[in-house]
Amino acid sequence: METSAVDSKKNRKQVERMTIENAQINRYLNHMGVKHSNSGYRFLISAIKLKAEHGHKIGYVEIYNNIAREYGISSYNRVERAIRYAIASFGATNKEFIARAVDDIIYGYKSQSP
């Protein structure tokens, strides 16, 4: 009985800390129609990867700060704005888009037009 509870807890932690490859994220963003020319495109890749790896343990401001440091940008606001601009046509907030992307990539998404 104890073993199944431990296994269940391990499985939840594995899902929370899922690693997503950049190629999977690129395919998803291409499928969704996000343009590569937007500066927010590369930030989206990093944000989706961070959210998938850390799950609910990392907040969005912390994600933007990490990306700003990674790319040598002085303010996390620039990262947030670039991502917002890249997904503007989807009518979703950054938080909604990133969370949906993580779920779709991990659990699969249907090949439909965006």
Under 8 Å between Cβ of 61 and 13: no
Dihedral angle sign, alpha carbons of residues 89, 95, 96, 99: positive
Give the helix, strand, coil percentages of the chain, each rounded to 5.
75, 0, 25
Q: Which residue has the higher pLDDT, 10 or 88?
A: 88
3 state SS for 65-90: HHHHHHHCCCCHHHHHHHHHHHCHHH
Report pLDDT for 56. Answer: 86
Look up residue 69 and give its amino acid: R
Percentage with pLDDT > 70 across the chain:
78
Report pLDDT for 18. Answer: 56
Which range is most confident: 21-30, 50-59, 79-88?
79-88
Report pLDDT for 33. Answer: 94
**pTM for this predicted structure:** 0.78
User: Residue 81 is encoded by which pair of tokens?
Assistant: 């704005």
